[in-house]
């Protein structure tokens, strides 16, 4: 029976040893980044930017609008009144009604840099949002550092306290032998016993603090970390991150790029705009041919320029 029990104990020891988890600081970073809300925000910012950029780039595509109208004019030009009486009946008066269905096509030829500036502004906003997200992750890394190294200190403290407890137990055993021999007094053992009680309290506080830190670190990393987890001390030469420059130090430059893009968008409001247009229609009278009183197709082609030469200093005020 004793032999079977010994074999069972030997078989269980390796299982217990191998069940111990090992956690490194870099693994904590990776796990925390994977579950951090800021990581999902970064992807969302990129998706939003792609949608906005596509919409802005479509500003160069022609726009198509379908229109229909009916107009009744109470007074129209009657050419027969300007002709001699003998010829008055040869020309019919213009119709009072107008019917038309059209498809209007408008094409931007030059927009003064409005679309380019708007796309640059959206890109600047994206870069700032991404860097702000990286800044939040950098702050999260600082929290992980605090919890991780505090856990290492608690483990070291526990090891020292346990060693001290072992020495104290040996000392109490030795003093009990001395007490039995009449070499020391009972009060001497009581002093050591009181110190042992304080030591037990410190070990208890150590366990409570460690359990609290483990719970917090588990929540941040989204993984189960218990008291059996062993935390590895990072080596001095370990490269814990590829980002050598802190993100918040780059936000200032990105803000400047955002400001430049905003100025470009504002300045484009004062630039001339060139556009082309076309109208495909079907109506009565067709187009501007008012002397033709029947339904017929027609089209109109043209181009134009628009320039806001005075805006009451609105653009100037926006720049300020």
CATH of the domain at 33: 1.20.1600.10
pLDDT in tens, 196-209: 899 999 999 999 99
Judge contact between 317 and 139, C-beta under 8 A.
no
Judge contact between 32 and 222, C-beta under 8 A.
yes
Contacts of 161 (CB under 8 A, 6+ apart): 199, 202, 203, 206
Cis peptide before 149 (omega within 30 of 0): no
Question: Would you say residue 156 lies in a domain?
Answer: yes
Question: Would you say residue 9 lies in a domain?
Answer: no
Please state which of the ranges 39-48, 90-99, 101-110, 118-127 shows the lowest mean pLDDT: 90-99
Taking the C-alpha atoms of residue 283 and residue 295, their distance in angstroms, rounded to an integer, is 5
pLDDT at 1: 44
Q: Partners of 98 in the beta sheet?
A: 71
Polymer length of the chain: 320
As a whole-number percent, the residues of the chain with pLDDT over 70 amount to 82
pLDDT at 197: 92
Short-list 212, 281, 214, 251, CA closest to 68: 281
For residue 125, the enclosing domain spans 21-319
Structure tokens at 42: 């970064």
Question: Would you say residue 25 lies in a domain?
Answer: yes
pLDDT band at 302 (very low <50, low <70, confident <90, very high): very high
CB burial of residue 231 (10 Å; 0-12, 13-18, 19+): buried
Give pTM, 2 decimals: 0.69
pLDDT at 237: 55
Question: Would you say residue 131 lies in a domain?
Answer: yes
Is the pLDDT confidence value at 211 over 90? yes
Taking the C-alpha atoms of residue 128 and residue 137, their distance in angstroms, rounded to an integer, is 14
pLDDT at 263: 87
Is the pLDDT confidence value at 55 over 90? yes
Q: Higher confidence at residue 27 or residue 244?
A: 27
Is the pLDDT confidence value at 27 over 80? yes
Question: Would you say residue 6 lies in a domain?
Answer: no
Is the pLDDT confidence value at 134 over 80? yes
CB burial of residue 69 (10 Å; 0-12, 13-18, 19+): exposed
For 186-192, what is the mean pLDDT? 83
pLDDT at 260: 87
Question: Would you say residue 144 lies in a domain?
Answer: yes
pLDDT at 124: 93
pLDDT band at 84 (very low <50, low <70, confident <90, very high): low
pLDDT at 12: 47
pLDDT in tens, 258-290: 888 888 888 888 889 999 999 999 998 888 887
Judge contact between 142 and 218, C-beta under 8 A.
no
Question: Would you say residue 11 lies in a domain?
Answer: no
Please state which of the ranges 7-16, 187-196, 265-274 shows the lowest mean pLDDT: 7-16
Question: Would you say residue 98 lies in a domain?
Answer: yes
Please tell me the total count of domains within the chain. 1
pLDDT in tens, 287-298: 888 778 889 999
Taking the C-alpha atoms of residue 161 and residue 153, their distance in angstroms, rounded to an integer, is 12
């Amino acid at each position: 029976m004793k032999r079977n029990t010994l074999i069972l104990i030997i078989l269980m020891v390796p299982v217990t040893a191998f069940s111990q988890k090992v956690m490194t600081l870099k693994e904590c970073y990776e796990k925390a980044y994977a579950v951090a809300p800021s990581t999902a925000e970064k992807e969302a910012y990129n998706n939003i930017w792609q949608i906005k950029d596509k919409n802005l780039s479509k500003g160069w595509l022609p726009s198509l609008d379908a229109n229909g109208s009916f107009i009744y004019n109470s007074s129209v030009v009657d050419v027969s009144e300007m002709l001699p009486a003998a010829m008055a009946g040869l020309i019919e008066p213009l119709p009072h009604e107008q019917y038309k269905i059209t498809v209007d096509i408008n094409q931007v030829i030059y927009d003064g840099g409005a679309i380019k500036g708007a796309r640059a502004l959206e890109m600047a906003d994206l870069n700032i949002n991404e860097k702000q997200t990286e800044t939040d992750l950098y702050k999260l890394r600082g929290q992980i550092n605090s919890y991780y190294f505090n856990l290492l200190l608690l483990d070291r403290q526990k090891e020292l306290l346990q060693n001290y407890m072992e020495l104290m137990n040996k000392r109490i055993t030795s003093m009990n032998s001395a007490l039995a021999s009449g070499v020391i007094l009972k009060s001497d053992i009581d002093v050591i016993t009181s110190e042992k009680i304080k030591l037990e309290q410190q070990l208890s506080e150590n366990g409570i603090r460690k359990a609290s830190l483990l719970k917090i670190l588990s929540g941040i990393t989204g993984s189960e970390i218990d008291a059996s987890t062993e935390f590895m001390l990072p080596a001095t030469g370990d490269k814990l991150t590829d980002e050598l420059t802190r993100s918040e130090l780059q936000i200032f430059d990105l803000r400047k790029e955002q400001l430049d893009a905003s100025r470009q968008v504002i300045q484009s409001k004062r630039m001339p705009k060139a556009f082309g247009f076309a109208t495909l229609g079907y109506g009565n009278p067709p187009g501007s041919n008012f002397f033709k009183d029947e339904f017929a197709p027609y089209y109109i082609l043209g181009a134009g320029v628009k320039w806001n030469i005075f805006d009451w200093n609105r653009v100037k005020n926006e720049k300020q």
